[in-house]
């Protein structure tokens, strides 16, 4: 473990497992408010690859002018995705997250033109105009304990016609039912002519497992769709 990151795998594992006992949306937000201070160090210890994998697959499929492209970063957290997309040439970011603690760290990155607080999948819609963005990103938020499957309709609606929507989810045991439901909803939206599938990438080494029932790395998946 590098001296630059004193967090250990055991410490981080305990933090992650503590959120499994969270029951309400309010408790979940409170957890992320507390976690914001060490979030980036902790996901580095976990070898959490979702942000980098999502950005790589989005960049590989984006053919427009990157500097001019408007990017909606949903469940933006501390701004990891925006930092990676900046290195790929993207410059215009709007972030949305439910945690003020995470948004505070995102503000400190000075990458976002606007940051909005919103609880995804609640009574209020995604707080952005429809058809506004060239790119919509969500990495990490789509899981059984965080965001309901129906949210992907709002992600699609936020994109411009022809815009790309990039999403990720885990494929481990705890999340497999959610992943199946998510992919079913994606397929239904394809059949309804709302978007088309551009690319689906299954990844074996998504992040290090933290539960006793799983060893080594857990899998995950990156989805890229285009709004029609």
| pLDDT for residue 166 | 98
For residue 181, pLDDT beyond 80: yes
Percent of the chain with pLDDT over 70: 96
Sequence-separated (6 or more) residues with CB below 8 Å from residue 140 = 48, 50, 51, 75, 77, 146, 168
Q: Is the pLDDT of residue 23 over 90?
A: no
What is the per-residue pLDDT for 2?
Answer: 45
Residue 4: per-residue pLDDT = 62
Q: Specify the pLDDT at position 21.
A: 61
pLDDT score, position 178: 96
Question: What pLDDT sits at residue 171?
Answer: 95
Distance from chain centroid for Cα 35: 16
Percent of the chain clearing pLDDT 90 (strictly above): 77
Amino acid 153: pLDDT = 97
User: Domains along the chain?
Assistant: 49-227 (3.40.50.150)
CA atoms of 161 and 148, how far apart (whole Å): 24
Model pLDDT, residue 199: 98
* Average pLDDT of span 123-149: 91
Q: What is the pLDDT of residue 156?
A: 98
Q: Lowest-pLDDT range, 81-90, 113-122, 153-162, 195-204?
A: 113-122
Work out the pLDDT band at 124, boundaries 50, 70, 90.
Answer: confident
């Amino acid at each position: 473990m590098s001296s630059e990151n004193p967090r250990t795998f055991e410490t981080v594992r305990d933090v992650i497992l503590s959120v499994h006992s969270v029951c309400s949306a309010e408790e979940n937000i409170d957890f992320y408010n507390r976690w914001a201070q060490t979030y980036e160090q902790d996901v580095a210890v976990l070898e959490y690859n979702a942000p980098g994998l999502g950005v790589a697959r989005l960049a590989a499929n984006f053919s427009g002018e990157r500097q001019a492209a408007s990017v909606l970063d949903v469940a933006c957290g501390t701004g990891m995705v925006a930092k990676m997309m900046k290195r790929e040439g993207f410059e215009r970011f709007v972030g949305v997250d439910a945690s003020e603690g995470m948004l505070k760290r995102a503000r400190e990155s000075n990458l976002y033109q606007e940051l909005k607080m919103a609880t995804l999948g609640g009574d209020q819609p995604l707080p952005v105009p429809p058809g506004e963005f060239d790119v919509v990103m969500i990495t990490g938020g789509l899981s059984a304990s965080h965001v309901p499957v129906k949210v992907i309709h709002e992600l699609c609606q936020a994109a411009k016609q022809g815009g790309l929507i990039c999403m990720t989810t885990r494929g481990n045991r705890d999340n497999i039912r959610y992943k199946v439901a998510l992919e079913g909803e994606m397929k239904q939206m394809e059949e309804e002519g709302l978007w088309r599938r551009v690319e689906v990438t299954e990844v074996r080494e998504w992040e290090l497992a933290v539960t006793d029932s799983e060893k080594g790395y857990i899998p995950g998946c990156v989805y890229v769709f285009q709004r029609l």
